[in-house]
């Protein structure tokens, strides 16, 4: 579900660069760079290949850059499809402006950045960072890793799926957050990995950040958590891999990266190489009369957020780990090119699939203003919603849903085929 724009927005704080004071200039805030990189190199075993250039930018430059980068990187159609996907799943409201909200979010939180494309570090003008070594340590961790693993390609690999790109983002941010804490300990003369209490500060600071930033605080749950996931969950992931591999972890997470967000949430799955499944999305037209306009993966993170928003966090945390894979597709039908959501998920047992089917019925009832089911059983939930007719079905370990069918006759035909499939 993390289509290209959302994955891109998560990484923007790391990609920003400014036309202005770039190079290695006289600036007291940057005087610690060489010593910080030296300590990071000792911890990771990664040598500094070349000095890291640096500079500053102001808020006006930042907002201008964000708008330009989005325009230059993404086609308007891609942006439209990202926004449509989130709206059809009910993860953002109907009037949500994804581009504007993303620029506002990132401009609000910007302080220090490493630009993977230009290979430069910079600070935002006015940010009180002259004595904040740990913030620089985080960004310089990106710079050091970039010199060895080409992070631009790693975090924005066109060949990777959407959920895999989110997992790669969590690798980058999780490793840098872990290193930031390890750097603090080295500065205190302690040659040990970060303690559990220190690691907890990353997750706690992510949770507390919503109250400190008004734009973030007002954002939909999915957008909030998407921005915080790579830091909080990524740090926990890297800690688990480091405990298993030691210093080799600094290379392993890049040369053998995780496949999906489930491996980030459950590092044991990464270590055991448990890969997600890819159940085929259902189709409501038996004759193929539909045009695909978007498709992607629904990872454990996505599913967890969907359940959290409509069923509650405890049930989301209980149920989401049982998902083994999910796919979605959006198709256009008819002269009006009405978008229809087709979604399939696979679970680890019939029981967990049944629990999810029950939970997803609640999602449908709550995400629409009007939900009028004409069939509600242990295997079918079908009827009419805000954007048309829907059909949600459970079959063994699989749950699939078609939402937004415009014609009742077409819906009835799809329902009849679903009945025949279960017989």
- Of 242, 269, 38, 265, the C-alpha closest to 144 is 38
User: Does a structural domain hold residue 282?
Assistant: no
327 forms beta bridges with: 297, 344
Q: Which residue has the higher pLDDT, 220 or 162?
A: 220
- What's residue 408's pLDDT? 87
Residues 298 and 215 in one domain: no
125 by DSSP, 3-state: which? coil
60 and 189: one domain? yes
125 and 258 belong to one structural domain: yes
d(CA 333, CA 342): 12
Residues 347 and 234 in one domain: no
- DSSP code of 47? P
In a domain, 366, yes or no: yes
Answer yes or no: do 27 and 158 share one domain. Answer: yes
Angle (CA) 156 10 342, round 5°: 80
pLDDT confidence of residue 161: 81
18 contact partners, CB below 8 Å, separation of at least 6: 55, 56, 57, 61, 62, 65, 122
- At 412, give phi and psi (nearest 5°): -65, -35
Task: Report residue 101: phi and psi, to 5°.
Answer: -65, -35
End-of-domain residue from the set 213, 239, 271: 271
Is residue 85 within 8 A of residue 296, CB to CB? The reply is yes
pLDDT in tens, 228-279: 999 999 999 999 999 999 999 999 999 999 999 999 999 999 999 999 999 9
Structural domain including 303 reads 291-422
Q: What percent of the chain has pLDDT over 70?
A: 87
Q: State which of 236, 271, 306 marks the end of a domain.
A: 271
DSSP 246: G
Residue 278 resides in a domain: no
- At 26, is the pLDDT very low, low, confident or very high (cuts 50, 70, 90)? low
pTM (predicted TM-score):
0.90
Per the structure, the count of domains in the chain is: 2
Could you tell me if 305 and 201 lie in one domain?
no
Mean pLDDT of all residues belonging to the chain: 87
Q: Comparing C-alpha atoms, which of 149, 199, 147 is closest to residue 171?
A: 149
- Residue at 115 is within a domain: yes
CATH number of the domain bearing residue 414: 3.40.1000
- Give me the helices (H) in 220-349, please: 221-245, 249-255, 261-265, 267-271, 300-310, 313-319
Query: What's residue 117's pLDDT?
Result: 80
**Do both 175 and 296 map to the same domain?**
no
pLDDT tens digit string along 140-161? 999 999 999 999 889 876 666 8
Residue 260: how many other CB atoms lie within 10 Å = 25
- Start-end of H helices in 120-248: 133-149, 151-155, 162-187, 196-212, 214-218, 221-245
Q: Domain for residue 256, yes or no? A: yes
Specify the pLDDT at position 103. 79
> Which of the listed residues 242, 271, 300 is the one where a domain comes to its end?
271
The HSE-up count of residue 117 (CA atoms within 13 Å, CB side) is 10
Q: What pLDDT score does 146 carry?
A: 97
Q: What are phi and psi of 286, to 5 degrees?
A: -70, -25
State yes or no: pLDDT of 29 exceeds 80.
no
| 84-133 pLDDT per residue, tens | 999 999 999 999 998 888 778 877 776 777 888 888 887 887 766 555 78
CA dist list (Å): 92 to 27, 84, 180: 42, 9, 33
Amino acid 358: pLDDT: 98
Q: What would the pLDDT profile of 178-207 be if each residue is shown by its tens digit?
A: 999 999 999 999 999 999 999 998 877 766
116 and 198 share one domain: yes
Task: Tell me whether residue 279 is in a domain.
Answer: no
Contacts of 394 (CB under 8 A, 6+ apart): 353, 354, 357, 378, 379
pLDDT band at residue 10 under the 50/70/90 scheme = very low
DSSP 32: T
Q: Are residues 211 and 296 in the same domain?
A: no
Q: Rounded to whole angstroms, how far apart are CA atoms 320 and 396?
A: 17
For residue 24, what pLDDT band results from cuts at 50, 70 and 90?
Answer: very low
Q: For 49-79, what is each residue's pLDDT tens digit?
A: 999 998 888 888 888 877 777 776 667 777 8
* Residue position matching structure tokens 């210093």: 247
Domain check: are 306 and 403 in the same one?
yes
pLDDT, residue 5, reads 46
Give pLDDT, residue 159.
Answer: 62
Q: For residues 155 and 168, what is the distance between their CA atoms, to the nearest angstrom?
A: 6
Same domain, 263 and 296: no
- pLDDT above 90 as % of the chain: 60
Query: Which residues, 6 or more positions from 256, have their beta carbon under 8 angstroms from its beta carbon?
Result: none
Is 276 within a domain? no
- Cα torsion through 192, 195, 200, 203, rounded to 10: 10
Same domain, 252 and 380: no
Residue 301 falls inside a structural domain: yes
Instruction: Please list, residue by residue across 73-92, b when 16 or more beta carbons sit within 10 angstroms of its beta carbon and e when fewer do.
Output: ebeeeebbbbbbbbbbbbbb
Q: What is the pLDDT of residues 336-358, one digit of tens each?
A: 888 999 999 999 999 999 999 99
Q: Give residues with Cβ within 8 angstroms of 122, minimum separation 6.
A: 16, 17, 18, 22, 54, 55, 56, 57, 112, 113, 115
């Amino acid at each position: 579900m993390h289509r290209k724009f959302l994955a891109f927005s998560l990484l923007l704080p790391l990609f920003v660069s400014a036309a202005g004071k770039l190079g290695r200039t006289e600036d007291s805030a940057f005087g610690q760079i060489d010593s910080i990189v030296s300590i990071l190199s000792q911890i990771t075993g990664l040598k500094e290949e070349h000095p890291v250039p640096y500079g500053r930018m102001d808020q006006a430059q930042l907002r201008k850059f964000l708008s330009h980068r989005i325009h230059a990187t993404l086609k308007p159609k891609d942006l439209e499809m990202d926004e449509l996907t989130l709206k059809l799943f009910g993860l953002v409201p109907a009037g949500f402006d994804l581009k504007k909200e993303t620029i506002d979010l990132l401009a609000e939180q910007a302080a220090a950045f490493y630009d993977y494309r230009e290979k430069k570090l910079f600070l935002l003008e006015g940010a009180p960072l002259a004595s904040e070594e740990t913030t620089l340590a985080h960004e310089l961790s990106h710079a050091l890793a970039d010199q060895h693993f080409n992070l631009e390609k790693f975090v924005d690999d066109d060949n990777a799926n959407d959920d895999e790109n989110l997992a790669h983002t969590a690798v980058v941010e999780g490793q840098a957050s872990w290193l930031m804490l390890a750097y603090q300990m080295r500065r205190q003369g302690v040659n040990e990995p970060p303690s559990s209490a220190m690691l907890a500060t990353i997750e706690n600071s992510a949770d507390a950040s919503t109250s400190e930033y008004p734009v973030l605080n007002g954002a939909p749950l999915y957008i909030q958590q998407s921005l915080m996931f790579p830091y909080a969950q990524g740090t926990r992931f890297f800690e688990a891999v480091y405990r298993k591999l030691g210093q080799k972890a600094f290379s392993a997470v890049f040369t053998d990266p995780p496949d999906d967000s489930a491996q980030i949430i459950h590092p044991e799955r990464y270590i055991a190489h448990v890969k997600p499944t890819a159940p085929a999305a259902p189709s409501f037209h038996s004759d193929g009369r539909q045009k695909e306009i978007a498709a992607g993966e629904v990872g454990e993170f996505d599913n967890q957020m969907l359940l959290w928003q409509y069923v509650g966090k405890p049930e989301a945390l209980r149920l989401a780990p049982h998902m083994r894979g999910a796919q979605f597709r959006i198709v256009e039908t008819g002269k009006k090119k009405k978008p229809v959501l087709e979604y399939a998920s696979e679970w680890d047992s019939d029981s967990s699939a049944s629990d999810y089917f029950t939970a997803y019925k609640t999602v449908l009832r709550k995400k629409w203003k009007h939900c009028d089911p004409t069939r509600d059983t242990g295997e079918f939930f079908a009827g009419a919603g805000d954007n048309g007719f829907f059909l949600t079905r459970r079959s063994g370990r699989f749950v699939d849903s078609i939402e937004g069918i415009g014609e009742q006759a077409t819906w009835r035909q799809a329902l009849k085929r679903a009945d025949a499939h279960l017989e």
